[in-house]
Chains A and B, each alone.
Chain A
């Protein structure tokens, strides 16, 4: 098992600190390693909302023998800076690029059909209102808890390459069966990993294009 990469958070900017949900995503990715190596064999990896940057760095370390580029996006400048620094600390920065943007807005056109591996730990907590500030952005998912993910999902079929795969974290209250069904015309969805993380029951979902 690979350890969580070293990281150093910013003192300011409310960057999300790696927690149980992050570790669940790392475990799922590690569990998928064989599939990622043999079937996906990524050239381009994208992480949305990369925060501390541990997931992007972890993927670089896990698949170190495969030459590929990682792109990490975050809305928060301090998070993008933190992602960049985590890559530097772990000596994978040559193949990690960071862009400050909303979800995938900077890459949707250019990387159409080119993303082999996409990962997202979204703000998934159901909240009465959408995030009002930077720290709420890390968790506030609106009424269903899926409001941010629902804005990303329509881009997924266009972004993924033919062998591409998307992993995302979901909370039980997000209604996982509905999530798996909702995009069934374009994507096949399945559960990779699920467990209690403190008071939350979390899932890692996997989506692939229907070809």
Chain B
């Protein structure tokens, strides 16, 4: 699912795409959990999701082409190296080896 759960915009140096078999049960279960407009905006900032509408189509449940495109975005795109930027604060978080570092600050390691 890449970093689509995070409410941030993504910049990237390196992304990976893999081929994943379409699973319509999976994608239908996930749609209600997704902040769809934010996901699409973030995807477009890394050159993905260009075939997806900016708002969730009302007929999404029966729109197979839409579900396939969304599934592909969720499952096959992964940012390997890059950074997440919070649109509100402008703070940046590094992604390395596909793992976003969301530590608030370096001290957290000592604190807990």
A60-71 to B contact mask, C-beta < 8 Å, 1/0: 000000011101
Given contacts A67-B23, A81-B97, A114-B33, 9 further A-B contacts (CB under 8 A): A69-B33, A71-B5, A99-B102, A100-B100, A100-B103, A101-B103, A106-B102, A110-B35, A137-B112
Q: Does B75 contact A (CB under 8 A)?
A: yes
Q: Does B30 contact A (CB under 8 A)?
A: yes
Whether the Cβ atoms of B109 and A68 lie closer than 8 Å is no
Q: Does A130 contact B (CB under 8 A)?
A: yes
Q: Does B108 contact A (CB under 8 A)?
A: yes
Q: Does A43 contact B (CB under 8 A)?
A: yes
Q: Does B99 contact A (CB under 8 A)?
A: yes
Ordered by A's residue number, 5 sampled pairs between the chains whose C-beta atoms are within 8 Å are A43-B33, A99-B102, A102-B112, A109-B7, A132-B110
Assess A77 versus B101: contact at CB under 8 Å? Given A67-B26, A110-B7.
Answer: yes
Mark out the residues of chain A between 71 and 90 whose CB falls within 8 Å of any chain B CB in the assembled complex. 71, 75-77, 80-81, 84
B65-79 to A contact mask, C-beta < 8 Å, 1/0: 000000000010000
Chain B, interface size category, equals 20 to 34
Q: Across the interface, which residues of B come within 8 angstroms of A110, CB to CB?
A: 5-7, 35
Q: Does A179 contact B (CB under 8 A)?
A: no
> Smallest CB-CB separation from A123: which chain B residue?
B112
Q: Which 3 A-B pairs have the closest CB atoms?
A: A67-B26, A106-B102, A101-B102
Q: Pick from B29, B75, B102: contact of A105, CB below 8 A.
A: B102
Whether the Cβ atoms of A77 and B99 lie closer than 8 Å is yes
Q: Across the interface, which residues of B come within 8 angstroms of A75, CB to CB?
A: 103, 108-109, 112
Q: Does A134 contact B (CB under 8 A)?
A: yes
A171 shortest CB reach to chain B, Å: 18
Q: Pick from A68, A69, A106, A131: contact of B6, CB below 8 A.
A: A106
A15 shortest CB reach to chain B, Å: 14
Chain A, interface size category, equals 35 or more
Whether the Cβ atoms of A99 and B25 lie closer than 8 Å is no
B3 shortest CB reach to chain A, Å: 7
Q: Across the interface, which residues of A come within 8 angstroms of B26, CB to CB?
A: 67
Q: Across the interface, which residues of B come within 8 angstroms of A148, CB to CB?
A: 112
Whether the Cβ atoms of A99 and B100 lie closer than 8 Å is yes
B94-107 to A contact mask, C-beta < 8 Å, 1/0: 00011111111000
Whether the Cβ atoms of A43 and B99 lie closer than 8 Å is no
Q: Does B56 contact A (CB under 8 A)?
A: no
A86 shortest CB reach to chain B, Å: 13
* C-alpha spacing A95/B1, complex, angstroms: 7
Assess A98 versus B99: contact at CB under 8 Å? Given A43-B30, A106-B6.
Answer: yes
